Chain A
Amino acid sequence: MLDLAQIYNGYYLEKSLLSVMPEAVLIVFAFLILLAGLFNNPSKNSVNSYYLALIGVAFSFLYLFMLSDHTIKGFYGSIVFDKFDVFLFTAILLSGFLTILMSKNYFDTRSVLIPEYYSLVLFSVSAMMLLVSSINLIMIFLSIEFMSICAYILTGYLKGESRSTEAAMKYFVLGTFASAFLLFGSVFIYAATGHLSLYKIHNFIFEQNYNAHYAYNLHTFLAIGLILLLVGLAFKMSLFPFHAWTPDSYDGAPTPVTNLMATGIKIAAFGVFIRVFTSIYSFNVFNFYNILWILAILTMTFGNFAALLQTDLKRLIAYSSIAQAGYILIGVIAGGYYGISGTLFYLLAYVFMTAGAFAIIIMFENLNLASVNIKSYSGLGYKYPLAGAAFSFFLLSLAGIPVTAGFMGKFFVFSAAIKSGYYWLVVIALLNSAFAAYYYIKIIVKMYMSDNNNNGGQLNLSNGRNSIIINAVNTNKDSQSYADNGSGKTALTEAVSLKSAAPALIIAIIICLIFTLILGIFPQPVISFASRSVTSLWSI
């Protein structure tokens, strides 16, 4: 029975509110952005809302930092704020932060509603955080829907681009379909255990495990419930065969949003899956691990196979993110202290490398240098050596080459899996990552080693044409001035590129670069952080 008195206990409420402070701040700022959008003139709007969003994320970080030592269960077990959250909140907020940094540049050239965009980003980030801190099926469902709805809207944000709308539509239909499964699964879990709270379900199963007279019907209900719940979660984690939305919606969405989906949503999905996993699946009821590792293998193999011949960069990264999900899942399956902390590490690493890659894609997209087709990247490595090097670095990190965060993540995850005895799983994963390297390297090949001697590709061609025109115009001038013209032209493009690559984007890239490197070289602080945060989970 409810203790109604407790509700009105100011201290309790305050504590409960504290537990959602980081999310609340974001939501407040989201509202602020919406409100500010009403009053300011449109030209200022975009700038204001951008800064407001950044400030919101900063405040959220601040609260997160302030609360980081606390473990607070708020609102009668709807939500919990613990060390696990701290880690994932950090990752999600970083993802949101980087997304916002990238967005400014991206949307400057496109006519869309800017304040709403930033508020939606903040909403979706807060939804992700809510999802991670949910310990109750109702909250899980609500947060997933909240997050998804934000994502649907953001995916379809590019008005007038049929690809964007199509992506939103596909995402919406599939997402809702998967949610229905999640819900139906919850029904069965509820029927089997009588609880919606993960803690209580955990306890129930824990008791039943030692109960000889475990009723068979509950057993069946639990099985069906667990499977359907897994379907719902697997969809968000984009595991094969529930991945189908991933490539299309990543492709159609505005690139910053793709980044948010690829990093934030994935982290949130894995975060909640780890919660559910450690509370429910970790008992390995009905040998549930079999399903999981089959899914892991299928996922990474499919992801890699599908990415192999991909020529569209965004889709390629979408498929690669499917494959990455497979690797991450291995860490979850490995379970335990090391498995989960490795997974967390991987997730954080994944944020930086993916966000970095997307930032560079956006940069090139904005410079109109490259579409997302790989072909247009040929020779870019020479033209923009630093950006090219950074992009290569991120791709290598995704491929799991050492000195990058990606390697360390894989290393932690695979070690944990071996420790738990999943030898074959690791071997398959390693083989997978070996052949996954091919398509990452393919991009690098395009950037640096294209057979096309004309380094700039199409761009250079047009340059060449221009200079021919100039030449034709200035026939009476001497060749020296023509040469000057030519070099002036290239210098001009360089200058333009530097100018239009906004500082925000460059900052985002630099952040990603630094962290990808640091996580790859000196992962000690982060892995300790992850290990500490894991302790607040159950059955660890």
Chain B
Amino acid sequence: MNVNVNDYLAVASIIFCIGALGVLIRKNLITIFLSLELMFNAANLGFVAVSEYLNLMSGDIFVIFIMVVAAAEAAILLGIAIAFYREKGTINIDKANELRM
């Protein structure tokens, strides 16, 4: 039994879905961001696996950029979380309900 790209993609998909689930069910901004990171990483895994199996490099490069973006987003999250906490005293996203309808 050989491990092929589909297996990797399956794992990636599982992680992606878990990430999505995390975003859906958690209310803590930090946890949500962690779930988002899971989703990004699932994509990373996919890219690496595909570029390995297709004998390409561009996927790997993509992964590096994704990492950069993830870092940048972490920085933004930091800012937003702090600002949000400052205003609401919590980072529960349910408390963000001023804007509606």
Contacts and interface: CB of A to CB of B under 8 A. Distances in A.
Judge: A and B partners, yes or no.
yes
Interface of A: 137-138, 141-142, 145, 149, 152-153, 156, 159-160, 162-163, 165-170, 172-173, 176-177, 179-180, 183-184, 186-188, 190-191, 194-196, 217, 247-248, 251-252, 310, 315
- By size class, the interface of chain B is 35 or more
Contact of A149 (B12, B42, B66, B73): B73
A414 to B, nearest CB: 30
Q: Which of A141, A153, A163, A172 has the most chain B CB atoms inside 10 A of its CB?
A: A172
Interface of B: 5-6, 9, 12, 16, 19-20, 23, 29, 32-33, 36, 39-40, 42-43, 46-47, 50-51, 54, 56, 58-59, 61-62, 65-66, 69, 72-73, 76-77, 79-80, 83-84, 87-88, 93, 96, 98-101
Contacts of B100: 248
Contacts, number: 123
Question: What does DSSP make chain A's interface, helix, strand, loop or mixed?
Answer: helix
Given A141-B62, A170-B99, 6 more contacts: A138-B58, A149-B76, A169-B93, A190-B51, A191-B46, A194-B56
B16 A165 contact: no
Contact of B16 (A152, A184, A190): A184
Contact of B99 (A172, A194, A247): A247
Contacts of A159: 83
Contact of B80 (A152, A187, A251): A152
Contacts of A252: 98-99
B81 to A, nearest CB: 8
Given A187-B50, A190-B47, A190-B50, A176 B98 contact: no
B36 A180 contact: yes
Nearest to A177: B23
Contacts of A248: 99-100
Of all A-B residue pairs in the complex, the 5 with the closest CB atoms, nearest first, are A187-B46, A180-B39, A183-B43, A248-B99, A166-B96
A153 B78 CA distance: 12
Nearest to A164: B83
A212 to B, nearest CB: 22
A186 B80 CA distance: 28
A76 to B, nearest CB: 11
A445 B76 CA distance: 42
Nearest to A144: B69
Given A138-B62, A184-B39, A172 B76 contact: yes
B80 A162 contact: no
Contacts of B72: 145, 149
A33 B72 CA distance: 21
A156 B79 CA distance: 10
A177 B36 contact: yes
Nearest to B99: A248
A528 to B, nearest CB: 38
Contacts of B65: 138, 141-142
Contacts of A145: 69, 72-73
A152 B72 CA distance: 12
Contacts of A190: 46-47, 50-51, 58-59, 62
Question: What does DSSP make chain B's interface, helix, strand, loop or mixed?
Answer: helix
B9 A191 contact: yes
B99 A184 contact: no
B46 A165 contact: no
B93 A173 contact: yes
B23 to A, nearest CB: 6
Contacts of B47: 186-187, 190
A152 B75 CA distance: 12
Contacts of A187: 9, 12, 43, 46-47, 50, 59
A359 to B, nearest CB: 23
B76 A153 contact: yes
B52 to A, nearest CB: 11
A183 B63 CA distance: 10
Nearest to A247: B99
Nearest to A152: B76
Contact of A165 (B6, B39, B83): B83
Contacts of B73: 145, 149, 172, 176
Contact of A184 (B42, B58, B59, B83): B42
A537 B86 CA distance: 48
Q: Which of A138, A166, A195, A252 has the most chain B CB atoms inside 10 A of its CB?
A: A166
Given A156-B80, A170-B96, A187-B50, A180 B62 contact: no
A186 B96 contact: no
A246 B68 CA distance: 26
A165 B80 contact: yes
Nearest to A161: B87
B80 A138 contact: no
Contacts of A180: 16, 19-20, 36, 39-40, 43
A194 B43 CA distance: 15
Q: Which of A145, A163, A187 has the most chain B CB atoms inside 10 A of its CB?
A: A187
Nearest to A309: B101
Nearest to A137: B62
B13 to A, nearest CB: 8
19 contacts: A141-B66, A145-B69, A149-B72, A149-B73, A152-B80, A165-B83, A172-B80, A173-B36, A177-B39, A180-B16, A180-B39, A187-B47, A187-B59, A188-B46, A190-B47, A190-B51, A194-B56, A252-B99, A310-B101
Given A165-B84, A169-B93, A191 B76 contact: no
B98 A166 contact: yes
A183 B66 contact: yes
Nearest to B85: A165
Contacts of B50: 187, 190-191
